[in-house]
Amino acid sequence: MQIEIKDPLGPEKSQGSDIGEVGKKAENLKIVRKRRLINLFLEPGVQIRIGLLSNMLALLFAGTLVLIFYIKMKEYFLFVLDLTELEEEVRKLGWVYFLRTLIWFVGLTAIYLITNIFISVLYTHRLVGPAYALRKHIRSLINGQYHARTYLRKGDNMQDVANELNKLSDILEKKLARDSKKVS
């Protein structure tokens, strides 16, 4: 989750001539939001689409493997049937073997899909979380809140974009301070 810095004086007071001081206070005051399950879904539409696509590909792959396994097992048992006179017993054993293998395969596929969903949510959160924080920072800049900064977690994507946006905030904050001193 991203770390946000809140202005202790509020947006109304931060527009004054002491914007540099407020910015310094805001830098020193870091508020970290606790990680909650609901916070993992910042952009549910995007995150769910990526997870579903990944799982659909996994199911297609698993279905293809089951089909190949079935075809090869059928060929093998037809070959064994040609070599033996115990056709009924071989058919029963073949069917039991196929069903046991299928149960294992379905169980492992279910475990894989659940793991894939979990990893998809966590990975997409590493992509969507920074985008969310950057959009929030841009909205603050649009509203004239130049003291806003974006601090991303270690390992999050778009660290370089966050650093550049923070530099822009510094420049705008300094420019506003200079302009307000000229006016005074």
Q: Which residues in the chain belong to E strands, given as ranges?
A: 3-4, 31-32, 150-151
- pLDDT at residue number 19: 45
- pLDDT at residue number 113: 87
Distance from C-alpha of 3 to C-alpha of 96, rounded to nearest angstrom:
56
* Tokens representing residue 125 in the block: 């959160």
Distance from C-alpha of 50 to C-alpha of 119, rounded to nearest angstrom:
11
Distance from C-alpha of 172 to C-alpha of 66, rounded to nearest angstrom:
61
Task: Identify the weakest region by mean pLDDT among 16-25, 74-83, 111-120, 136-145.
Answer: 16-25
- pLDDT at residue number 140: 92
DSSP secondary structure letter of residue 74: H
pLDDT per residue as tens digits for the range 159-183: 899 999 999 999 999 998 888 888 7
Which residues lie below 8 Å from residue 73, measured CB to CB, with a gap of 6+? 94, 97, 98
Residue 155 banded pLDDT, cuts 50, 70, 90: confident
Q: Are 4 and 133 in contact (CB under 8 A)?
A: yes
pLDDT per residue as tens digits for the range 20-79: 444 444 443 444 444 455 566 667 777 788 888 888 998 899 889 889 988 988 888 888
Q: Are 112 and 72 in contact (CB under 8 A)?
A: no
- pLDDT at residue number 34: 47
pLDDT per residue as tens digits for the range 84-103: 888 888 888 888 988 898 89
Distance from C-alpha of 182 to C-alpha of 184, rounded to nearest angstrom:
6
Domain coverage including residue 140 = 3-183
Number of domains in the chain: 1
